[in-house]
């Protein structure tokens, strides 16, 4: 498991740095303005799971799952801290596969 560095998106723009998705999942600090950019360079679809640390406003605890098709990418988020942050203020992300998958945490 790796801790992703959150990168600030500025008005001038940024060239984000991407990290290889970790087999055991990744975490990142979240203030409610962080998006996750996941690129799937593989030949098969993957599922990205954002772990719900607490119940949603309807009283249920359920993870957010997003499918990313082969050779595709998605921006996911932002993530309400009251639902997704664990006690350390981190969001946990898991991947169904990590081969050819890269990820960046971007604060808007």
- 63-74 per-position pLDDT tens digit: 999 999 999 999
CA-closest candidate to residue 76, choices 42, 105, 99:
105
Sign of CA dihedral 90, 96, 98, 100: negative
Is pLDDT of 13 > 90?
yes
* 54 touches 83 (CB < 8 A): yes
Q: The whole model's pTM is what?
A: 0.94
Average pLDDT score over residue span 81-86: 95
- 19-61 per-position pLDDT tens digit: 999 999 999 999 999 999 999 999 999 999 999 998 877 888 8
Describe the chain by its helix, strand, coil percentages, rounded to 5: 5, 45, 55
Rounded-to-integer distance, Cα 31 and Cα 21, Å:
21
């Amino acid at each position: 498991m790796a801790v992703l560095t959150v990168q600030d998106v500025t008005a001038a723009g940024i060239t984000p740095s991407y990290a290889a998705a970790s087999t055991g999942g990744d975490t990142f600090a979240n203030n409610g303005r962080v998006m996750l950019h996941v690129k799937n360079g593989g030949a098969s679809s993957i599922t990205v799971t954002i772990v719900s640390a607490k119940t949603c406003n309807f009283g249920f605890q359920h993870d957010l799952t997003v499918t990313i098709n082969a050779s595709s990418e998605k921006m996911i988020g932002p993530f309400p801290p009251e639902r997704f942050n664990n006690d350390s203020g981190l969001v946990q992300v898991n991947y169904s596969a990590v081969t050819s998958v890269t990820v960046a945490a971007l604060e808007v």
